[in-house]
Amino acid sequence: MTRYKWWFYVFNFSADNKVGNGNGMRRFKKAPTVLDWISVARDVEKNYRLPKGSVVVTNYQPVTK
């Protein structure tokens, strides 16, 4: 069984409507690319029921131990 080294990142996002700004944490199986962050933004839109394209991940950084 293969064990993954998880990549943990915290991120901030901004939304166009009343939700405003927020933050979250996500884990990845490999170093995240721009496309990974676009999918994170889509997940945030789904969770808050926002229109597509209204959430932008503004910054992110890896979680250090």
Q: What is the pLDDT of residue 20?
A: 77
Q: What is the pLDDT of residue 58?
A: 92
Burial class (CB in 10 A: 0-12, 13-18, 19+), 22: middle
Residue 26's pLDDT band, with cuts at 50, 70 and 90, is very high
Q: What is the pLDDT of residue 9?
A: 95
Interval 30-37 mean pLDDT: 92
Radius of gyration for the alpha carbons in the chain, expressed in angstroms and rounded: 13
Interval 13-27 mean pLDDT: 85
Interval 35-57 mean pLDDT: 91
Distance CA 2, CA 64 (A): 23
Q: Of 44, 47, 49, 46, which is closest to residue 14 (Cα–Cα)?
A: 44
